[in-house]
Structure 1
Amino acid sequence: EVAYFNKFLTGIIITSIIGVAIFARPYMGRVSDKIGRRIPIILGCIISSLPLLAVPFVSDFWILLLLVGIYGFGFATVTASTPALISELVPKELVGTSMGFLDTVMDVGQTLGPIISGFILATNLQYYGVFSSLTIVLLFSCIIFVKVSVTKTNLNNDE
């Protein structure tokens, strides 16, 4: 059964993801400055994927708020570290192009994600399928990121 909240509480839940990210991004950016970009990106993917599995089973507002807060923290960790990683890997004259490409990829994901989720939601899988699929995509992306070791040296050798 799906949890139903009034419109105000639903707004609080949705806003809390970005609310947590707004406060966490500067700190997580600083962490990635100190320890490097890869570890925060990997941990952020894992942190954001775990609460997604529990969301369909939760009907308590406070538990759901905690779960989406954890998701928001993982989201902030990834999004604070990714642009910095890209700016370190590409030549200076291509940083603008690379950032534009990164933003475009994120926009495409944020556009197609709800559409694909809607298709999954319409099947017998319902919310369980949506959140399980999101978890799988996040973890699969993390595995690809771990397996593909790109360095500035690798990029320059491909020329």
Structure 2
Amino acid sequence: MAAMPWIHAWWSMAALTALFGFGVAAVTASTSALVSDLSRAATYGASLGVLSSVMDVGHSAGPMVTGILVAAWGYGPAFALVAVLLSVCAVFFAILVHDSKTQDAG
């Protein structure tokens, strides 16, 4: 996403789109696993329900907010802002999420 303002050829856009697709697949699968790992067994359902709701809100609101940003500032600044926000989120994630406890399946 951060490189999109500097993409000018179709083949580089295709490569970035494929890379983005692999990233989304990895994040989607690993996020559910992380939430399950960090939750107590009694709250798995509620935890995954909240995750699903938050992801749905993000999938719905993200394009609308990005469209407003693109209309106001253009594509370059909008994608640069998204890159900065994702970087800040990555730092918070690295600081706040620690190795989770191991739980027995039984």
TM over 0.5: yes
Q: Alpha-carbon deviations, 1:29-56, whole Å to 9, x = none? A: xxxxxxxxxxxxxxxxxxxxxxx12212
Residue 93 of structure 2 is aligned to residue 148 of structure 1: no
TM-score, normalised to structure 2, is: 0.83
Residue 87 of structure 2 is aligned to residue 139 of structure 1: yes
TM superposition outliers: structure 1 runs of 4+ over 4 Å: 150-153
Write the distance in 1 (CA, Å) between the matches of 2:17 and 2:84.
Answer: 17
Partner of 2:104: none
Instruction: Kindly indicate whether the alpha-carbon contact (under 8 Å) linking 1:58 and 1:64 is maintained by their aligned counterparts in 2.
Output: yes
Any idea what SS the aligned residue of 1:53 has?
A: coil
Q: Which amino acid aligns with 1:60?
A: A
Q: Which amino acid aligns with 1:146?
A: A
Partner of 1:35: none
Write the distance in 2 (CA, Å) between the matches of 1:71 and 1:138.
Answer: 14
Structure 1 residue 100: Cα displacement: 0.7
Partner of 2:52: 103
Residue 48 of structure 2 is aligned to residue 91 of structure 1: no
Count of aligned positions: 101
Write the distance in 2 (CA, Å) between the matches of 1:87 and 1:147.
Answer: 19
Residue 68 of structure 2 is aligned to residue 119 of structure 1: yes
Q: Which amino acid aligns with 1:66?
A: A
Name the structure, 1 or 2, with higher relative contact order (CA <8 Å, separation 6+). Answer: 2
Write the distance in 1 (CA, Å) between the matches of 2:10 and 2:97.
Answer: 40
Q: Which amino acid aligns with 2:61?
A: L
Structure 1 residue 136: Cα displacement: 1.5
Of 70, 86, 102, the match for 2:19: 70
Write the distance in 2 (CA, Å) between the matches of 1:130 and 1:121.
Answer: 6
Closer, same or farther: CA 121–94 of 1 in aligned 2, 3 Å: same
Partner of 1:80: 29
